[in-house]
């Protein structure tokens, strides 16, 4: 019986692993043509100002409509893009698309809406990054102050000197910079204080534990107090319930993001074309 069980498990893992490796290879191969085939698009999630309850920004989140596998999440294809260096052209494409779409909606609705876009560590090392950002702004007409680039703390901590140099150059364009997923890496607020950044996004794992764990509330309160002391605005990610929103508001976070406030939507759903408006 033990043998049958063991054999079954082994076969199961074998098939499972083979399928995963095959999917990985197929997706990595197909990703090479995703930009040219126009399969990548951007979903936009509202970022809400917690004092005025107003949508002040949207975070652009990449989506891949694969002809056979359907929608592939960035959690799966961004790592593939990073391994193969495709992240640089894909990131530049994303910036062009998103700045163009948000600039158009700002114009059409006379809105002061900001765009947040994610940068991967590899993009931060790319000597052409500054050019890509400048071109996206110039081509779209999006004002620099309406763009905020999000970088994870680990991307910066790998080489703080190099990161500080590029972040400073980006910021001199007039754009804003945010630390994404704060609390999941190994940096401290003391280290972040020296970086040229404007916004700190508290990782959603903290928000998830709010209300069930008193310690987390104390930690978040501390992050907010220290961030404000060094002049950073604080955004809480992953707010899924009204209860979490209430606590986040009480703790003094400046902005919030999460399914309770709005999911990532295709641009046409966030801003329906005039004919669809009833």
Chain centre distance of CA 73: 12
Give me the phi and psi of 111, to 5 degrees please. -110, 145
Residue 178 near ligand C2E by CB under 6 A: no
CB-count burial class (<10 Å; 0-12, 13-18, 19+) for 28: middle
Within positions 71 to 100, which residues make up the interface with ligand C2E, using CB under 6 A? 73-75, 78, 91, 94
Residue 255 near ligand C2E by CB under 6 A: no
Contact string 109-148 vs ligand C2E (x = CB under 6 A): ---------xxx----------------------------
For tokens 């509202």, name the residue.
Answer: 46
Instruction: Rank residues 18 and 82 by Cβ distance to ligand C2E and give the closer one.
Output: 82
DSSP-assigned beta bridge partners for residue 199 = 178, 233
240: partner contacted, choices ligand C2E, Mg ion, none (Cβ within 5-8 A by kind) = ligand C2E
Pairing, β 54-66 against β 199-202? unpaired
Contact string 204-223 vs ligand C2E (x = CB under 6 A): x-------------------
Query: Least distance to Mg ion from the beta carbon of 228, Å?
Result: 20
Instruction: Rank residues 30 and 167 by Cβ distance to Mg ion and give the closer one.
Output: 167
Query: Least distance to Mg ion from the beta carbon of 118, Å?
Result: 4
Pairing, β 70-72 against β 114-118? unpaired
Residue 62 near ligand C2E by CB under 6 A: yes
Q: Which two tokens stand for residue 129?
A: 């990054």
Alpha-carbon distance 134 to 145, whole Å? 12
Stretch that binds ligand C2E, among 31-39, 159-167, 223-231, 232-240 (CB under 6 A): 232-240
Let me know: does 118 contact 147? Beta carbons within 8 Å: no
DSSP state of 53: T
Helix (H, G, I), strand (E, B) or coil at 127: coil
Within positions 41 to 70, which residues make up the interface with Mg ion, using CB under 5 A? none
Query: Least distance to ligand C2E from the beta carbon of 6, Å?
Result: 36
270: nearest Cα among 147, 140, 109 = 109
94: partner contacted, choices Mg ion, ligand C2E, none (Cβ within 5-8 A by kind) = ligand C2E
Question: Helices 129-140 & 87-109, crossing angle to 10 degrees?
Answer: 30
Residue 118 near Mg ion by CB under 5 A: yes
Interface with ligand C2E by CB under 6 A: which residues? 45, 61-62, 73-75, 78, 91, 94, 118-120, 150, 180-181, 204, 238-240, 257-259, 264
Interface with Mg ion by CB under 5 A: which residues? 118, 150, 180-181, 237
């Amino acid at each position: 019986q033990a043998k049958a069980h063991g054999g079954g498990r082994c076969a199961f893992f074998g098939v499972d692993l083979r399928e995963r490796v095959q999917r990985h290879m197929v997706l990595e191969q197909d990703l090479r043509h995703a930009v040219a085939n126009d399969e990548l698009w951007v979903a936009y999630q509202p970022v809400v100002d917690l004092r005025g309850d107003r949508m002040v920004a949207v975070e652009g989140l990449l989506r891949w409509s694969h002809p056979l596998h359907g929608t592939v999440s960035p959690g799966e294809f961004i790592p593939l893009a990073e391994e193969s260096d495709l992240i640089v052209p894909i990131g530049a494409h994303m910036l062009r698309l998103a700045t163009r779409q948000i600039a158009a909606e700002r114009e059409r609705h006379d809105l002061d809406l900001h765009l947040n876009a994610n940068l991967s560590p590899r993009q931060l090392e790319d000597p052409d990054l500054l050019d890509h950002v400048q071109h996206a702004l110039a081509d779209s007409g999006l004002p620099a102050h309406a763009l905020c680039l999000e970088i994870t703390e680990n991307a910066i901590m790998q080489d703080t000197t190099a990161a500080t140099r590029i972040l400073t150059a980006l910021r001199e364009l007039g754009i804003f910079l945010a630390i994404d997923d704060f609390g999941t890496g190994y940096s401290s607020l003391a280290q972040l204080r020296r970086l040229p950044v404007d916004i700190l996004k508290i990782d959603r794992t903290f928000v998830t534990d709010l209300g069930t764990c008193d310690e987390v509330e104390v930690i978040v309160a501390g992050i907010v107090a220290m961030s404000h002391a060094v002049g950073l605005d604080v955004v809480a990610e992953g707010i899924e319930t009204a209860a979490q929103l209430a606590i986040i508001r009480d703790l003094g976070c400046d902005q919030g993001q999460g399914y309770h406030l709005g999911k990532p939507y295709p641009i046409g759903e966030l801003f329906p074309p005039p004919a669809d408006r009833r």
